[in-house]
Amino acid sequence: MITVIGSINMDLVVTADKAPEAGETVMGTGFRQIPGGKGANQAVAAARSGAETAMVGRVGRDSFGETILRGLQEDLSDTSHIQRMDGVPTGIAAILVDGKGQNRITVVSGANFTFTADDIDAIRPLIARSHVLLLQLEIPLEAVFRALVVAKEEGVCSILNPAPAIELPPAIYGCVDLLTPNESELSILTGLPAGTRPQRIEASRKLLGFGLPSLIVTLGSEGSLSINQTGEIRHVPAYPVDALDTTAAGDCFNGALACQIDRMIAESGQRTGRFVPTPEQLAVAIDFATKASAISVTRAGAQPSLPYRREIDAFDAWYSLHSS
């Protein structure tokens, strides 16, 4: 079972052939309101990949909150920890998707930023009975840090997707089992360049030096690099496709990855102590997550783009028609 603690947003999505420069006006080609938020997207991705998934999150008592909650109730096995808050609006994200499928996102957090460390203590039993705890950085850092500490104390495997990236206190890395930055997030976390393979390895080693057991650096069309404390480095290739919209591709990857790790823990029968996947197991989980996100970028929007297990399992046939 996976617990996701994180953000829930309504995405206000404008499509345009070209993004405007500062001071410029361009004509758009479409507008949609689509459920999103990194936390909710990752929870839906995990659930559609086949995991029993609980979400802890907050929305306002407004129509966005109502619409999003109804959608999440269809996908997730437990939405009882999603609270509707008085006096704050549901979080929103203003998203511009250009003609190449690239996005620019501005988040206004609203209810997502009302979490405190005490709120995390109140859900300790939920964390304790999870196989995997999945977190991002769209809720207050004090809540994320507390959740990681609780997971460590309870022997629960934790995955932190450090997005959007901020510099983190070094002590947090000793509480995370698996960190999943992309290249620019790795650079922000470490203050080091991460544009080339040697730079990514050096930056990753800085985080491993703080006690992080392993990390996966996602590299978009270049695939991903996994690095762990033993010094083992693996590259898992991407599946190139023509991207229509990359929104939530990273969320899809993280949710699907968490689903595979949840399965491995369930199959291992291990219930106490932290589960550490072998490099081989991690490579299999990364490949599954890479397939899921390749499907997602060929579809528009955040949650509507996230694939179901049957689609990921039928990937080879799908890819023979969609590879670029």
Catalytic residues: 251
Q: How far apart are CA 181 and CA 311, in angstroms?
A: 26
Residue 248 Cβ vs ligand RIB, minimum distance, rounded to whole Å: 5
Query: What residues numbered 73-132 form the site for ligand RIB, per CB under 6 A?
Result: 93, 105, 107
Closer residue to ligand RIB in complex, CB, 88/175: 88
Specify the stretch interacting with ligand RIB by CB under 6 A; choose among 7-15, 52-60, 154-162, 311-319. Answer: 7-15
Closer residue to ligand RIB in complex, CB, 138/185: 138
| Cβ atoms 306, 296 nearer than 8 A | yes
Q: For ligand RIB, which residue has the nearest CB?
A: 36
Closer residue to ligand RIB in complex, CB, 58/131: 58
> In the stretch 222-251, what mask flags binding to ligand RIB with x, by CB under 6 A?
-------------------------xx-xx
Q: Which of 75, 119, 138, 183 binds ligand RIB (CB under 6 A)?
A: 138
Q: How far apart are CA 174 and CA 185, in angstroms?
A: 18
What is the identity of the amino acid at 192? L
Q: Is 11 in the site for ligand RIB (CB under 6 A)?
A: yes
Query: What residues numbered 187-226 form the site for ligand RIB, per CB under 6 A?
Result: none
Closer residue to ligand RIB in complex, CB, 159/264: 159
Strand partners, 75: none
Q: Which of 3, 15, 41, 90 binds ligand RIB (CB under 6 A)?
A: 41
Residue 103 Cβ vs ligand RIB, minimum distance, rounded to whole Å: 8
Count of residues of this chain found to bind ligand RIB when the rule CB under 6 A is applied: 16
Q: Is 38 in the site for ligand RIB (CB under 6 A)?
A: yes
Specify the stretch interacting with ligand RIB by CB under 6 A; choose among 5-13, 45-53, 178-186, 272-280. Answer: 5-13
DSSP codes of every residue in 246-266: -TTHHHHHHHHHHHHHHHHHH
Residue 249 Cβ vs ligand RIB, minimum distance, rounded to whole Å: 8
Residue 129 Cβ vs ligand RIB, minimum distance, rounded to whole Å: 27
Q: How many angstroms separate the first and last alpha carbons of the chain?
A: 35
| Cβ partners under 8 Å of residue 300, min gap 6 | 13, 32, 97, 244, 245
What is the identity of the amino acid at 153? E
183-190 vs 197-208: helix crossing angle, rounded to 10: 50
Q: How far apart are CA 194 and CA 187, in angstroms?
A: 5
Q: How far apart are CA 199 and CA 187, in angstroms?
A: 9
Q: Is 36 in the site for ligand RIB (CB under 6 A)?
A: yes
279-296 vs 249-268: helix crossing angle, rounded to 10: 140
Strands of the chain (E only): list them: 2-5, 9-15, 30-36, 53-60, 78-85, 91-97, 103-108, 132-135, 157-160, 178-179, 214-218, 224-228, 233-236
Q: Is 302 in the site for ligand RIB (CB under 6 A)?
A: yes
Q: Is 296 in the site for ligand RIB (CB under 6 A)?
A: no
Residue 7 Cβ vs ligand RIB, minimum distance, rounded to whole Å: 6
Closer residue to ligand RIB in complex, CB, 11/185: 11
Other CB atoms within 10 A of residue 219 CB: 19
3 state DSSP class of 235: strand
Closer residue to ligand RIB in complex, CB, 130/305: 305
Alpha-carbon radius of gyration of the chain: 19
Positive or negative: CA dihedral 148, 255, 82, 110: positive
Closer residue to ligand RIB in complex, CB, 228/251: 251
Residues making contact with ligand RIB (CB under 6 A): 7, 9, 11, 36-38, 41, 93, 105, 107, 138, 247-248, 250-251, 302
